[in-house]
Chains A and B, each alone.
Chain A
Amino acid sequence: MEFTFDLNTIWFILIGILLAGYAILDGFDLGVGSLQLLVKDDLERRILINSIGPVWDGNEVWLVTGGGALFAAFPHVYATVFSGFYTAFMILLFALIFRAVAIEFRSKQNSKIWRQSWDAAFCFASILIAFLMGVALGNIVQGIPLGPDKEFTGTFWTLISPYTVLVGITTVALFMMHGSIYLAMKTEGELQAKVSSWINNTIIFFVICYVTTTMSTLIYFPHMVEHFKSTPILFLVAILNMLAIANIPREIHHKRNWHAFLSSSASILALLTLFAIGLFPNIVLSNPNPEYSLTIYNAASSQKTLMIMLIIAIIGIPLVLAYTISIYRIFRGKVKIDTHSY
């Protein structure tokens, strides 16, 4: 497929950026959620939860906006994927609801059982969300059965395969690593020593999953590497990804947690870029009938809408970046618990 830099391609990239923004930002707070049961003391748990307190709902807005942008730019993808992944998606929605409510409710009561139940719900929901997102990505790589009318023809169980489960677990591992690095930045003293000790374990967990996923992708889904064969320069992204991952333990060793966090963010970005390059110009692969795949052309809105949306994005994205950066600046530094905290 010839690469043309048209509106459809721009929107493929922009939705990729929104999803990458979501993965990098909500990724760390899902990671924090998955890990917070590892500390037992209530004050320590509150510090972990408040490290993401002011930012988690802003992070989730990236997902909501990504969904809206997908609806507007590629309505067929939005319709096919969400109706096709119905049951899986409903479970994801329930997890998102529970997570939002758990963080809001847990500190409202002093009762131990109350707090422990919400903490468990928060942890479970965070892991489940990360896992299901991974399963969804796995299905996009593997391809899903589509009919000529662009409709999904499988069932819930079509979506569950060893490969998609593997990608799901990899995503959980990735977010745990990302979250533990974030926590190292936001904590101090004894608690920081504790969370720092998680980083190595999560890195090892992630690297094992990552290598296994990469091997199985190369073996079972060779279509994902075609662009890398025809345009070898793209292999640089894979190298950058490896370097970013390898850099994390180095930065941690030198106690430069912020640099480690940047590296981890860069590796998430690189991973999604590799995924996007492998997929392009398809968005949803049809398996077994590849001719029914949804591409950036047959699934897109009109050129006029893509243009309008581009103008909206050009106005909106600088504003979004400005808010995001200023919020993170205002809440930078170590977490302090006060009367307004969760």
Chain B
Amino acid sequence: MAVLFNTFIQNTKHMKFLILITAFIAGLGYNARACELCGCSASSQYLGILPEFYKQFIGVQYQYTSFTAKQPSLMDPSDNESAYEFNSTYQVWGRYYIGNKVQLFGFLPYHMNTGADGGTAIKTNGIGDASVLGNIVVFRRDADTAVWKQTLLAGGGVKLPTGKYTGVTTLDEQGLPNVQAGTGSWDFIVNANYTIRYQKVGLNADASYTMTTANKVDYKYGNRLNTGLLAFYWWQKNNVSLLPQAGVRYEYTLHDYDNYEHKWLNESSGGNIVFATAGVQAYIKRYGAKVMYSIPVSQHYANGDVTVQPRLETSLFFLF
């Protein structure tokens, strides 16, 4: 990916403008609805298209996700209770190169979650689960003479149980474990990221798989597959580089276990979703910003009882 942006923009005076734009977009609201059933948090952590004209970067991401849910009453299956959940996540993240072949990524999220079941809203704020990823540059074909420029990264990492997890609460009993800031579990991640570019047009494919473990109360969130394919165009004028991009994301989440030791599989959890996604990245010298908006085009979560709503993601980078 390095070569994608080998000539870059000057003048950073627009940074404040970018911050304002991103903050504004991050603050945009849309109908927030919820998830009252277990395990519908297809929490997405993916790398996507990354800047490579400087090795290191640090950035702040904002992601907004929301769900609506209907839960059939046990007493009367024809009577659905409605619920909603919306999650705002601010995340500090960065990349550090060791030599030319190894990249380290760190992620530290802060969650602001709200869930409501039966009209009572429950808010949970706090530091979430931190993650560390290591990627190897498997190959890079970015010589000036190369017609097709390609980069393949692959690696793995771990998600640490740094977020607050209070065990099985009354909310959990009601099916709302997702409003907690942490999962209480150590999870292991593998990922790959491939970019190919011909002149100003390119494709980025990424995939990550998260293998979860049971937490201290034996709750185990479902393993997750997160894949994406993005087409982008590299546009540059004066001091600004823009990468408009669009594509699809597919996420698949296995069922949770209410109790992993006893193999109590929660079949009202897990599912799959396809997002159509579009956005743009902008760079000015060492500064960058990104906005992505994703609309579900097909989904089946929690036996169809959970509906994932559109997702918004914004980022700011500082490259060094």
Determine if chain A interacts with chain B. no
Interface residues of B (CB under 8 A from A): none
Interface residues of A (CB under 8 A from B): none
